[in-house]
A and B are shown apart, each in its own frame.
Chain A
Protein backbone atom coordinates (compact mmCIF):
# COMPACT_ATOMS: atom_id res chain seq x y z
CA UNK A 1 0.00 0.00 0.00
CA UNK A 2 2.91 2.33 0.67
CA UNK A 3 4.79 1.35 -2.49
CA UNK A 4 4.45 4.79 -4.07
CA UNK A 5 6.11 6.39 -1.07
CA UNK A 6 8.72 3.76 -0.39
CA UNK A 7 9.16 1.69 -3.57
CA UNK A 8 12.17 -0.10 -2.05
CA UNK A 9 10.52 -1.13 1.18
CA UNK A 10 9.00 -4.53 0.37
CA UNK A 11 11.05 -6.06 -2.42
CA UNK A 12 14.34 -4.99 -0.84
CA UNK A 13 13.44 -5.85 2.72
CA UNK A 14 16.23 -8.00 4.15
CA UNK A 15 15.97 -7.92 7.94
CA UNK A 16 13.26 -10.34 9.14
CA UNK A 17 13.33 -9.08 12.75
CA UNK A 18 10.57 -6.44 12.39
CA UNK A 19 8.29 -8.89 10.57
CA UNK A 20 8.90 -11.61 13.17
CA UNK A 21 8.07 -9.14 15.96
CA UNK A 22 4.86 -8.17 14.13
CA UNK A 23 3.90 -11.82 13.64
CA UNK A 24 4.52 -12.55 17.31
CA UNK A 25 2.29 -9.66 18.40
CA UNK A 26 -0.38 -10.69 15.90
CA UNK A 27 -0.36 -14.31 17.10
CA UNK A 28 -0.66 -13.21 20.72
CA UNK A 29 -3.58 -10.88 19.95
CA UNK A 30 -5.45 -13.49 17.89
CA UNK A 31 -4.93 -16.16 20.56
CA UNK A 32 -6.24 -13.76 23.16
CA UNK A 33 -9.34 -13.08 21.02
CA UNK A 34 -9.86 -16.82 20.57
CA UNK A 35 -9.59 -17.50 24.28
CA UNK A 36 -12.00 -14.73 25.27
CA UNK A 37 -14.52 -15.87 22.65
CA UNK A 38 -14.25 -19.46 23.87
CA UNK A 39 -14.79 -18.56 27.51
CA UNK A 40 -17.75 -16.27 26.78
CA UNK A 41 -19.40 -18.73 24.38
CA UNK A 42 -19.00 -21.71 26.71
CA UNK A 43 -20.60 -19.69 29.50
CA UNK A 44 -23.45 -18.47 27.32
CA UNK A 45 -24.13 -21.89 25.79
CA UNK A 46 -23.84 -23.88 29.03
CA UNK A 47 -27.64 -24.34 29.49
CA UNK A 48 -28.13 -25.43 25.85
CA UNK A 49 -25.13 -27.78 26.07
CA UNK A 50 -26.70 -29.34 29.15
CA UNK A 51 -30.06 -29.84 27.42
CA UNK A 52 -28.48 -31.18 24.22
CA UNK A 53 -26.18 -33.55 26.12
CA UNK A 54 -29.07 -34.93 28.18
CA UNK A 55 -31.09 -35.63 25.02
CA UNK A 56 -28.07 -37.18 23.31
CA UNK A 57 -27.31 -39.39 26.31
CA UNK A 58 -30.94 -40.63 26.21
CA UNK A 59 -30.52 -41.54 22.53
CA UNK A 60 -27.17 -43.27 23.03
CA UNK A 61 -28.53 -45.20 26.03
CA UNK A 62 -31.35 -46.46 23.81
CA UNK A 63 -28.94 -47.64 21.10
CA UNK A 64 -28.84 -44.51 18.92
CA UNK A 65 -25.82 -43.57 16.83
CA UNK A 66 -24.18 -40.23 16.10
CA UNK A 67 -23.98 -39.11 12.44
CA UNK A 68 -21.86 -35.95 12.00
CA UNK A 69 -21.26 -33.72 9.00
CA UNK A 70 -19.85 -30.40 7.83
CA UNK A 71 -18.00 -28.88 4.86
CA UNK A 72 -14.30 -28.06 4.51
CA UNK A 73 -12.61 -27.42 7.85
CA UNK A 74 -15.96 -28.20 9.49
CA UNK A 75 -15.87 -31.63 7.79
CA UNK A 76 -12.50 -32.18 9.47
CA UNK A 77 -13.95 -31.05 12.79
CA UNK A 78 -16.96 -33.36 12.30
CA UNK A 79 -14.50 -36.22 11.75
CA UNK A 80 -12.73 -35.14 14.93
CA UNK A 81 -16.03 -35.22 16.82
CA UNK A 82 -16.68 -38.74 15.52
CA UNK A 83 -13.21 -39.80 16.67
CA UNK A 84 -13.86 -38.24 20.08
CA UNK A 85 -17.16 -40.11 20.54
CA UNK A 86 -16.01 -43.35 18.92
CA UNK A 87 -12.50 -43.70 20.36
CA UNK A 88 -12.50 -41.35 23.34
CA UNK A 89 -9.41 -40.52 25.41
CA UNK A 90 -11.40 -41.61 28.45
CA UNK A 91 -14.98 -42.63 29.17
CA UNK A 92 -17.33 -44.77 27.13
CA UNK A 93 -16.87 -45.32 23.37
CA UNK A 94 -20.10 -44.54 21.49
CA UNK A 95 -21.14 -45.40 17.93
CA UNK A 96 -20.40 -42.47 15.62
CA UNK A 97 -20.06 -41.99 11.85
CA UNK A 98 -18.73 -39.10 9.78
CA UNK A 99 -20.84 -38.53 6.66
CA UNK A 100 -17.92 -36.72 5.03
CA UNK A 101 -15.50 -39.61 5.46
CA UNK A 102 -15.94 -41.36 2.15
CA UNK A 103 -15.00 -39.49 -1.04
CA UNK A 104 -16.55 -42.30 -3.10
CA UNK A 105 -19.98 -41.67 -1.59
CA UNK A 106 -19.59 -37.88 -1.61
CA UNK A 107 -18.55 -37.76 -5.26
CA UNK A 108 -21.25 -40.24 -6.28
CA UNK A 109 -24.01 -38.13 -4.72
CA UNK A 110 -22.44 -34.79 -5.65
CA UNK A 111 -21.95 -35.77 -9.27
CA UNK A 112 -25.17 -37.69 -9.84
CA UNK A 113 -27.60 -35.53 -7.89
CA UNK A 114 -25.99 -32.39 -6.49
CA UNK A 115 -23.81 -31.33 -3.63
CA UNK A 116 -26.76 -30.10 -1.59
CA UNK A 117 -27.90 -33.70 -1.03
CA UNK A 118 -24.57 -35.33 -0.06
CA UNK A 119 -25.56 -35.59 3.60
CA UNK A 120 -29.37 -35.84 3.33
CA UNK A 121 -29.18 -38.84 0.99
CA UNK A 122 -26.86 -40.64 3.38
CA UNK A 123 -29.38 -40.05 6.17
CA UNK A 124 -32.05 -41.63 3.93
CA UNK A 125 -29.78 -44.65 3.47
CA UNK A 126 -28.78 -45.32 7.03
CA UNK A 127 -30.48 -42.92 9.42
CA UNK A 128 -32.69 -44.58 12.05
CA UNK A 129 -35.32 -42.78 14.11
CA UNK A 130 -33.31 -43.22 17.32
CA UNK A 131 -30.12 -41.75 15.86
CA UNK A 132 -28.76 -38.26 16.41
CA UNK A 133 -27.10 -35.88 14.00
CA UNK A 134 -24.59 -33.11 14.65
CA UNK A 135 -23.94 -30.64 11.82
CA UNK A 136 -21.18 -28.00 11.88
CA UNK A 137 -21.19 -24.85 9.79
CA UNK A 138 -19.38 -21.56 10.44
CA UNK A 139 -21.94 -19.58 8.41
CA UNK A 140 -24.98 -21.54 9.50
CA UNK A 141 -26.18 -21.35 5.89
CA UNK A 142 -24.71 -24.43 4.15
CA UNK A 143 -27.44 -25.79 1.87
CA UNK A 144 -26.39 -29.41 2.33
CA UNK A 145 -26.58 -29.07 6.11
CA UNK A 146 -30.04 -27.49 5.98
CA UNK A 147 -31.20 -30.34 3.70
CA UNK A 148 -29.71 -32.90 6.09
CA UNK A 149 -31.37 -31.32 9.13
CA UNK A 150 -34.73 -31.33 7.30
CA UNK A 151 -34.25 -35.02 6.47
CA UNK A 152 -33.25 -35.79 10.08
CA UNK A 153 -36.43 -34.13 11.34
CA UNK A 154 -38.57 -36.16 8.90
CA UNK A 155 -36.98 -39.32 10.27
CA UNK A 156 -37.36 -38.48 13.94
CA UNK A 157 -33.65 -38.10 14.54
CA UNK A 158 -32.36 -35.73 17.23
CA UNK A 159 -30.64 -32.75 15.59
CA UNK A 160 -27.85 -30.62 17.03
CA UNK A 161 -26.41 -27.73 15.04
CA UNK A 162 -23.20 -25.83 15.69
CA UNK A 163 -22.98 -22.50 13.86
CA UNK A 164 -21.27 -19.10 13.82
CA UNK A 165 -22.15 -15.59 12.60
CA UNK A 166 -25.29 -15.41 14.73
CA UNK A 167 -26.48 -18.84 13.58
CA UNK A 168 -27.44 -18.03 9.99
CA UNK A 169 -30.34 -20.05 8.62
CA UNK A 170 -29.60 -22.88 11.05
CA UNK A 171 -30.86 -20.61 13.87
CA UNK A 172 -34.38 -20.75 12.40
CA UNK A 173 -34.29 -24.26 10.93
CA UNK A 174 -36.23 -25.98 13.73
CA UNK A 175 -33.23 -27.87 15.08
CA UNK A 176 -33.70 -29.58 18.42
CA UNK A 177 -30.59 -27.81 19.71
CA UNK A 178 -28.37 -25.13 18.20
CA UNK A 179 -25.08 -23.87 19.64
CA UNK A 180 -24.04 -20.53 18.16
CA UNK A 181 -20.67 -18.80 18.25
CA UNK A 182 -21.23 -15.04 17.98
CA UNK A 183 -18.20 -14.04 15.90
CA UNK A 184 -17.37 -13.21 12.30
CA UNK A 185 -13.98 -14.90 11.74
CA UNK A 186 -14.16 -18.43 10.37
CA UNK A 187 -11.00 -19.39 12.23
CA UNK A 188 -12.06 -18.03 15.62
CA UNK A 189 -15.52 -19.60 15.16
CA UNK A 190 -14.03 -23.04 14.42
CA UNK A 191 -11.75 -22.91 17.46
CA UNK A 192 -14.67 -22.13 19.74
CA UNK A 193 -16.90 -24.71 18.01
CA UNK A 194 -14.30 -27.35 18.91
CA UNK A 195 -14.40 -26.16 22.53
CA UNK A 196 -18.23 -26.34 22.51
CA UNK A 197 -18.20 -29.85 21.07
CA UNK A 198 -15.61 -31.01 23.59
CA UNK A 199 -17.83 -29.67 26.38
CA UNK A 200 -20.83 -31.39 24.77
CA UNK A 201 -18.97 -34.70 24.58
CA UNK A 202 -17.90 -34.40 28.24
CA UNK A 203 -21.49 -33.69 29.26
CA UNK A 204 -22.79 -36.70 27.29
CA UNK A 205 -20.22 -38.88 29.07
CA UNK A 206 -21.43 -37.54 32.42
CA UNK A 207 -25.02 -38.14 31.36
CA UNK A 208 -24.25 -41.79 30.67
CA UNK A 209 -22.55 -42.37 34.03
CA UNK A 210 -24.24 -45.08 35.99
CA UNK A 211 -26.27 -46.30 33.02
CA UNK A 212 -25.84 -49.89 31.88
Chain B
Protein backbone atom coordinates (compact mmCIF):
# COMPACT_ATOMS: atom_id res chain seq x y z
CA UNK B 1 0.00 0.00 0.00
CA UNK B 2 2.62 2.57 -0.98
CA UNK B 3 1.35 6.10 -0.70
CA UNK B 4 3.00 9.50 -1.11
CA UNK B 5 1.40 10.51 2.22
CA UNK B 6 3.12 7.71 4.15
CA UNK B 7 2.05 4.13 4.81
CA UNK B 8 -1.45 5.09 5.94
CA UNK B 9 -2.10 7.98 3.59
CA UNK B 10 -5.25 9.93 4.50
CA UNK B 11 -6.22 7.15 6.95
CA UNK B 12 -3.85 8.64 9.55
CA UNK B 13 -5.99 11.76 9.89
CA UNK B 14 -9.19 9.73 10.00
CA UNK B 15 -7.72 7.50 12.70
CA UNK B 16 -6.87 10.58 14.76
CA UNK B 17 -10.42 11.95 14.50
CA UNK B 18 -12.00 8.56 15.22
CA UNK B 19 -9.77 8.05 18.27
CA UNK B 20 -10.68 11.42 19.79
CA UNK B 21 -14.39 10.77 19.19
CA UNK B 22 -14.10 7.35 20.84
CA UNK B 23 -12.07 8.76 23.76
CA UNK B 24 -14.82 11.33 24.32
CA UNK B 25 -17.40 8.53 24.52
CA UNK B 26 -15.29 6.63 27.08
CA UNK B 27 -14.73 9.85 29.05
CA UNK B 28 -18.52 10.28 29.20
CA UNK B 29 -19.00 6.77 30.58
CA UNK B 30 -19.80 5.06 27.30
CA UNK B 31 -19.14 1.43 26.40
CA UNK B 32 -17.57 0.25 23.14
CA UNK B 33 -19.50 -2.58 21.48
CA UNK B 34 -17.38 -4.55 19.01
CA UNK B 35 -18.96 -6.47 16.16
CA UNK B 36 -17.67 -8.20 13.05
CA UNK B 37 -20.31 -10.02 10.99
CA UNK B 38 -17.78 -12.21 9.14
CA UNK B 39 -14.83 -12.45 11.53
CA UNK B 40 -15.95 -12.51 15.17
CA UNK B 41 -12.33 -13.03 16.25
CA UNK B 42 -11.61 -9.45 15.16
CA UNK B 43 -14.45 -8.20 17.40
CA UNK B 44 -12.98 -10.17 20.30
CA UNK B 45 -9.49 -8.86 19.60
CA UNK B 46 -10.68 -5.23 19.63
CA UNK B 47 -12.59 -5.77 22.89
CA UNK B 48 -9.68 -7.37 24.73
CA UNK B 49 -7.34 -4.52 23.73
CA UNK B 50 -9.53 -2.03 25.58
CA UNK B 51 -10.56 -4.21 28.54
CA UNK B 52 -7.10 -5.60 29.30
CA UNK B 53 -4.43 -3.23 28.00
CA UNK B 54 -1.06 -4.89 27.44
CA UNK B 55 0.86 -1.69 28.09
CA UNK B 56 1.59 -0.99 31.77
CA UNK B 57 -0.16 2.15 32.92
CA UNK B 58 -2.70 2.21 30.10
CA UNK B 59 -6.34 2.65 31.08
CA UNK B 60 -8.88 -0.16 30.93
CA UNK B 61 -12.12 0.77 29.16
CA UNK B 62 -15.46 -1.03 28.90
CA UNK B 63 -15.56 -2.89 25.59
CA UNK B 64 -17.63 -5.94 24.72
CA UNK B 65 -17.51 -8.26 21.71
CA UNK B 66 -20.94 -8.99 20.29
CA UNK B 67 -20.93 -12.31 18.45
CA UNK B 68 -24.64 -13.11 18.38
CA UNK B 69 -26.07 -14.11 15.01
CA UNK B 70 -28.68 -11.33 15.04
CA UNK B 71 -26.53 -8.31 15.88
CA UNK B 72 -29.40 -5.82 15.59
CA UNK B 73 -31.49 -7.73 18.12
CA UNK B 74 -28.52 -8.16 20.47
CA UNK B 75 -27.24 -4.59 20.26
CA UNK B 76 -30.66 -2.94 20.45
CA UNK B 77 -31.08 -3.96 24.09
CA UNK B 78 -27.43 -3.59 25.09
CA UNK B 79 -26.47 -0.16 23.82
CA UNK B 80 -27.42 3.18 25.33
CA UNK B 81 -26.94 6.85 24.54
CA UNK B 82 -23.25 7.82 24.75
CA UNK B 83 -21.98 4.37 23.72
CA UNK B 84 -19.98 3.54 20.59
CA UNK B 85 -20.07 0.61 18.18
CA UNK B 86 -17.05 -0.44 16.15
CA UNK B 87 -17.78 -2.72 13.21
CA UNK B 88 -14.91 -4.66 11.63
CA UNK B 89 -15.57 -5.51 8.00
CA UNK B 90 -18.79 -6.93 6.60
CA UNK B 91 -20.67 -6.10 3.44
CA UNK B 92 -22.82 -3.00 3.18
CA UNK B 93 -25.91 -5.21 3.38
CA UNK B 94 -24.65 -6.85 6.57
CA UNK B 95 -23.64 -3.73 8.46
CA UNK B 96 -26.17 -1.11 7.42
CA UNK B 97 -29.06 -2.40 9.58
CA UNK B 98 -26.91 -1.69 12.66
CA UNK B 99 -25.25 1.51 11.43
CA UNK B 100 -28.49 3.14 10.26
CA UNK B 101 -30.18 2.52 13.62
CA UNK B 102 -27.28 3.77 15.74
CA UNK B 103 -28.31 7.46 15.71
CA UNK B 104 -31.71 6.49 17.14
CA UNK B 105 -29.87 4.64 19.90
CA UNK B 106 -27.59 7.66 20.57
CA UNK B 107 -24.53 5.65 19.57
CA UNK B 108 -21.34 6.75 17.77
CA UNK B 109 -20.36 4.39 14.95
CA UNK B 110 -16.95 3.41 13.57
CA UNK B 111 -16.24 1.06 10.69
CA UNK B 112 -12.80 -0.52 10.29
CA UNK B 113 -11.93 -2.63 7.29
CA UNK B 114 -10.72 -2.81 3.73
CA UNK B 115 -12.26 -2.02 0.39
CA UNK B 116 -15.32 0.20 0.07
CA UNK B 117 -16.74 1.17 3.46
CA UNK B 118 -20.50 1.26 3.98
CA UNK B 119 -20.52 5.11 3.87
CA UNK B 120 -22.96 5.17 6.79
CA UNK B 121 -20.76 5.14 9.92
CA UNK B 122 -19.64 8.34 11.66
CA UNK B 123 -16.00 7.36 11.16
CA UNK B 124 -14.83 4.94 8.46
CA UNK B 125 -11.29 3.58 8.33
CA UNK B 126 -11.02 1.69 5.06
CA UNK B 127 -7.74 0.27 3.81
CA UNK B 128 -7.36 -0.05 0.08
CA UNK B 129 -7.51 -3.59 -1.26
CA UNK B 130 -9.62 -6.60 -0.58
CA UNK B 131 -10.33 -9.27 2.00
CA UNK B 132 -6.70 -10.36 2.42
CA UNK B 133 -6.19 -7.27 4.66
CA UNK B 134 -8.42 -9.00 7.24
CA UNK B 135 -5.98 -11.94 7.38
CA UNK B 136 -2.58 -10.34 6.84
CA UNK B 137 -2.47 -8.11 9.94
CA UNK B 138 -3.30 -4.84 8.16
CA UNK B 139 -6.77 -4.51 9.72
CA UNK B 140 -5.30 -5.57 13.07
CA UNK B 141 -2.86 -2.64 12.70
CA UNK B 142 -5.79 -0.26 12.21
CA UNK B 143 -7.58 -1.26 15.39
CA UNK B 144 -4.33 -1.42 17.34
CA UNK B 145 -3.69 2.19 16.30
CA UNK B 146 -7.25 3.12 17.28
CA UNK B 147 -6.49 1.75 20.75
CA UNK B 148 -3.08 3.43 21.00
CA UNK B 149 -4.37 6.85 19.91
CA UNK B 150 -7.42 6.63 22.19
CA UNK B 151 -5.06 6.11 25.13
CA UNK B 152 -3.06 9.21 24.12
CA UNK B 153 -6.25 11.31 24.09
CA UNK B 154 -6.64 10.67 27.83
CA UNK B 155 -3.46 12.66 28.43
CA UNK B 156 -5.52 15.67 27.28
CA UNK B 157 -8.50 15.79 29.66
CA UNK B 158 -9.46 19.28 28.52
CA UNK B 159 -10.30 17.87 25.08
CA UNK B 160 -12.46 15.00 26.30
CA UNK B 161 -15.70 16.92 26.86
CA UNK B 162 -18.41 15.76 24.44
CA UNK B 163 -18.05 17.26 20.99
CA UNK B 164 -20.55 20.05 20.35
CA UNK B 165 -23.68 18.63 18.72
CA UNK B 166 -23.81 19.36 15.01
CA UNK B 167 -26.30 22.07 14.19
CA UNK B 168 -28.85 20.43 11.96
CA UNK B 169 -31.89 21.71 10.15
CA UNK B 170 -34.19 23.31 12.70
CA UNK B 171 -37.84 24.04 12.09
CA UNK B 172 -38.43 27.81 11.92
CA UNK B 173 -41.84 27.60 13.58
CA UNK B 174 -41.11 25.28 16.51
CA UNK B 175 -37.26 25.17 16.66
CA UNK B 176 -37.40 21.36 16.87
CA UNK B 177 -34.98 19.44 14.68
CA UNK B 178 -36.07 16.23 12.97
CA UNK B 179 -34.56 13.32 14.88
CA UNK B 180 -34.19 9.67 14.01
CA UNK B 181 -36.43 7.29 15.95
CA UNK B 182 -36.78 3.51 15.99
CA UNK B 183 -40.30 2.20 16.46
CA UNK B 184 -40.57 0.19 19.68
CA UNK B 185 -44.27 -0.61 19.50
CA UNK B 186 -47.27 0.72 17.64
CA UNK B 187 -50.57 1.46 19.32
CA UNK B 188 -54.14 2.02 18.11
CA UNK B 189 -55.11 5.44 16.80
CA UNK B 190 -52.02 5.89 14.59
CA UNK B 191 -49.68 6.27 17.55
CA UNK B 192 -46.32 4.65 18.28
CA UNK B 193 -43.66 4.55 20.95
CA UNK B 194 -40.28 5.35 19.42
CA UNK B 195 -36.77 5.33 20.76
CA UNK B 196 -34.54 8.31 19.97
CA UNK B 197 -31.15 9.39 21.27
CA UNK B 198 -33.06 11.41 23.90
CA UNK B 199 -35.16 8.50 25.14
CA UNK B 200 -38.59 7.02 24.50
CA UNK B 201 -41.56 9.08 23.38
CA UNK B 202 -45.09 8.70 22.06
CA UNK B 203 -45.57 10.05 18.57
CA UNK B 204 -48.36 10.44 16.04
CA UNK B 205 -47.86 8.30 12.93
CA UNK B 206 -50.81 9.46 10.84
CA UNK B 207 -48.58 11.00 8.16
CA UNK B 208 -46.53 7.89 7.41
CA UNK B 209 -49.11 5.10 7.49
CA UNK B 210 -48.64 1.64 8.95
CA UNK B 211 -45.41 1.05 10.88
CA UNK B 212 -43.86 -2.02 12.48
CA UNK B 213 -41.53 -2.42 15.43
CA UNK B 214 -37.96 -1.81 14.27
CA UNK B 215 -38.89 0.69 11.54
CA UNK B 216 -36.93 3.93 11.46
CA UNK B 217 -38.79 7.23 11.26
CA UNK B 218 -37.94 10.92 11.28
CA UNK B 219 -39.58 12.49 14.32
CA UNK B 220 -40.51 16.15 14.30
CA UNK B 221 -42.71 17.94 16.80
CA UNK B 222 -44.16 14.71 18.17
CA UNK B 223 -44.99 13.39 14.72
CA UNK B 224 -43.42 10.85 12.38
CA UNK B 225 -42.85 12.83 9.19
CA UNK B 226 -41.06 10.20 7.11
CA UNK B 227 -39.97 6.57 7.08
CA UNK B 228 -36.21 6.01 6.70
CA UNK B 229 -35.16 3.07 4.55
CA UNK B 230 -32.90 0.65 6.41
CA UNK B 231 -31.99 -1.95 3.84
CA UNK B 232 -29.87 -0.85 0.97
CA UNK B 233 -30.32 -2.21 -2.49
CA UNK B 234 -27.16 -2.71 -4.49
CA UNK B 235 -26.26 0.66 -5.95
CA UNK B 236 -23.60 1.27 -8.52
CA UNK B 237 -21.12 3.32 -6.51
CA UNK B 238 -20.22 5.41 -9.52
CA UNK B 239 -23.81 6.59 -9.82
CA UNK B 240 -24.33 7.68 -6.23
CA UNK B 241 -23.39 11.31 -6.74
CA UNK B 242 -25.57 11.55 -9.80
CA UNK B 243 -28.53 9.94 -8.08
CA UNK B 244 -28.16 12.15 -5.02
CA UNK B 245 -28.83 15.31 -7.01
CA UNK B 246 -32.58 15.93 -6.86
Do A and B associate with each other? Answer: yes
Q: Footprint of B on A, CB under 8 Å?
A: 10-14, 16, 19-28, 30-32, 34-35, 38, 72-73, 75-77, 79-80, 83-84, 89, 138, 186-187, 190-195, 197-198, 201
**Assuming A13-B158, A76-B45, A187-B147, what are 18 further A-B pairs, CB within 8 angstroms?**
A10-B157, A10-B158, A11-B158, A12-B158, A14-B158, A19-B153, A19-B159, A20-B13, A23-B16, A23-B152, A24-B16, A34-B141, A72-B52, A80-B42, A194-B135, A194-B137, A195-B136, A195-B137
Contact A35–B7 (Cβ < 8 Å):
yes
Please report the number of residue pairs spanning A and B whose Cβ atoms sit closer than 8 angstroms. Answer: 128
Q: Is the CB of B45 within 8 A of A27?
A: no
CB neighbours (8 Å) of A14 from chain B are 158-159
B16 & A13 in contact (Cβ 8 Å cutoff): no
Q: Do B136 and A198 have beta carbons less than 8 Å apart?
A: yes
Which residue of chain B is the closest to A194 with respect to CB atoms? B137
Q: Chain B's nearest CB lies how many Å from the CB of A107?
A: 16
Docked CA distance A204–B156 (Å): 48
Offer 8 A-B interface pairs, CB within 8 angstroms, sorted by A: A13-B157, A14-B159, A20-B17, A24-B16, A30-B145, A79-B41, A187-B54, A187-B147
In this assembly, does B12 line the interface, its C-beta being within 8 Å of a C-beta of chain A? yes
* Complex alpha-carbon distance, A192 and B141, angstroms: 9
* Residues on the A chain within 8 Å of B159, using CB: 13-14, 16, 19
Contacts of B155 in A (CB 8 A): 10
**Neighbouring A residues of B141 by C-beta, 8 Å:** 31, 34, 191
Contacts of A190 in B (CB 8 A): 137, 140, 144
Is the C-beta of B94 less than 8 angstroms from some C-beta in chain A? no
> B-side binding surface: helix, strand, loop or mixed?
helix
When distances are taken between beta carbons in the complex, the residues of chain B under 8 Å from A72 are: 48, 52, 54
List of B residues within 8 angstroms of A32 by Cβ? 6-7
Partner of A73, one of B48, B131, B138, B156: B48
How many residues of chain B get a CB closer than 8 Å to chain A's CBs?
42
Which 6 pairs from chain A and chain B are nearest by CB? A194-B137, A13-B158, A76-B45, A23-B16, A79-B41, A191-B137
Q: Are A28 and B144 in contact (CB under 8 A)?
A: no
CB-based nearest A residue for B135: A198
A89: chain B residues at CB < 8 Å are 131-132, 135
Among A79, A186, A192, which residue has its beta carbon within 8 angstroms of that of B44? A79
- Judge whether B48 and A38 touch: CB under 8 Å: no
Contacts A12-B158, A76-B48; is A192 near B137 (CB within 8 Å)? yes
In the complex, A24→B42 CA distance in Å? 23
Docked CA distance A23–B15 (Å): 8
Q: How far is the CA of A191 from the CA of B39 in the complex (A)?
A: 16
Task: Let me know if B75 is at the binding interface, CB within 8 A.
Answer: no
Q: What residues on B are CB-neighbors of A19 within 8 Å?
A: 16, 20, 152-153, 156, 159
On chain A, the residues within 8 Å of B149 by CB distance are: 23, 26-27
